[in-house]
Amino acid sequence: MTDETSETDDDWTRMTRRGVLALAGASAIAGCSSIDSVGGGSEATIDVYNLPDIQRDEERHVPVPPSVPVDIATSHFDAARERVRSLLATLPTPLGSDEIPNGHVRKHLTDAAGDASDGLDDARTARTGLIALRSLRRARKNARYAAAGWSVAESGRTAAPLREEHSQTVSEARKTRQEHEYVGTDPVRAALVHARVEAGLERASETDVVSRAESELLSVAEWGETAESAQAYLSDAHHMQAQFSDSLPSDAGTVRPTLADAAETLLADVRDRQADLPPETAADDRSPGQMVVDELRWRAESGISRLMDGVGPASAVVDANGRLARFRALERIQNRREAEELARPSDGTAVRDIRQTAYDALTAALESSSHPDFVRTVLVDAGHKVMTADRGLIHYEGEITASTLDRSVADYWHATALARSAAAATEQTVQALKSD
């Protein structure tokens, strides 16, 4: 399940790709474009002007935002915002050299405080409640980092109480995981909500803390961030579970056996599909079509043996659904290759068409599905492939060789195949969940 994405709708002035290039100046781009534009032999070249006109990276958002089918209470958002504000309020404004003489350390703290403020803004304009939660979690982490770091300079605070705070949160999260009740009436909705709760409790339980600190002050700052992150994940998991339980009738029973059985059924099919794949061959072909085949196969097969030992049965169901979609997408791509439908595009119009097809596939899959919340879990990942492809188109100018765009073209094809496979995989998953 895709985690830690942050998208916002905004009214910022949009700048086209060519506008960015004009402002940046030809000299800023010439380094990479001159290398990429050197073609050999008779390979086709593409005029960048004819490529899709794409906004700057920082002003874009993922085409299909992640969500969870449970209402997040306004009071929960308000409490998170107040937590961020209260942490930032402990910092002197501005934080200058008199307070933190070391400029490098001071920049770490001021950047974190700025990122926390940005997180509050992102949460206000978030397209879904889940994205708002994620923005606020990041805001809390950054605010605590800055506040904990400043507390070292202000009062000589050490990392010990923060490590203890983190340890207590981890213990509570692990206890909550053990006692987690998989209540529900509709196993489809229950799988999606419980998967998010499982993921949150898993993140709150993490103890593998790797310090990147360059000083004692920054080490304490990092422990503040770690402690706050665990508490934020735990708080959000508790809230989603409570909100979901409150939305159910009082006599709602457990769906854990249903989730576990469905996970077993789906994973059996995943393993069968893996076993039916032909052996991988070492090919010199690095065409965009081969790129898609290699990546889809890797993503479908990666970690299959560990799925049932994961964070819980709901996550296993959602993960299996995504893998089935990828196996189906891989089959689609292989069929298209055999039909010679994946030739490298040789002009800007073809690239435009490939990109538009990917966006259309995302929209069609979401609008036509009878279970859009479940389909969305696959489409979020497909949407990220589209965004990655878009980013790859904004760095060039002038004439470039057609192969320069192979990575972006492969990502568009990947997204299209995955989006067109999402509905069938979801129907199979829903059938497994409702087989009783």
Instruction: Specify the DSSP element, H or E, that contains 46.
Output: strand 45-47
Q: Cα–Cα distance between 176 and 239 in angstroms, integer?
A: 12
Residue ranges in the chain modelled with pLDDT below 50: 2-40
**Overall size of the chain counted in residues:** 436
Burial class (CB in 10 A: 0-12, 13-18, 19+), 244: buried
Res 107: pLDDT: 96
In tens, the pLDDT along 147-167 reads 999 999 999 999 999 999 999
CA separation (Å) from 414 to 92, 132, 158, 280, 288? 49, 28, 49, 19, 10
In the chain, where are the structural domains located?
17-64+255-433, 74-246
In tens, the pLDDT along 55-86 reads 765 556 889 999 999 999 999 999 999 999 99
Please give the structure tokens belonging to residue 141.
Answer: 């982490």
Res 311: pLDDT: 86
Classify strands 399-401 and 45-47 as parallel, antiparallel or unpaired: antiparallel
Please state the φ and ψ torsions of residue 97, each to the nearest 5 degrees.
Answer: -70, -25
Please give the structure tokens belonging to residue 257.
Answer: 């056996």
pTM: 0.87
Res 7: pLDDT: 34
Res 28: pLDDT: 33
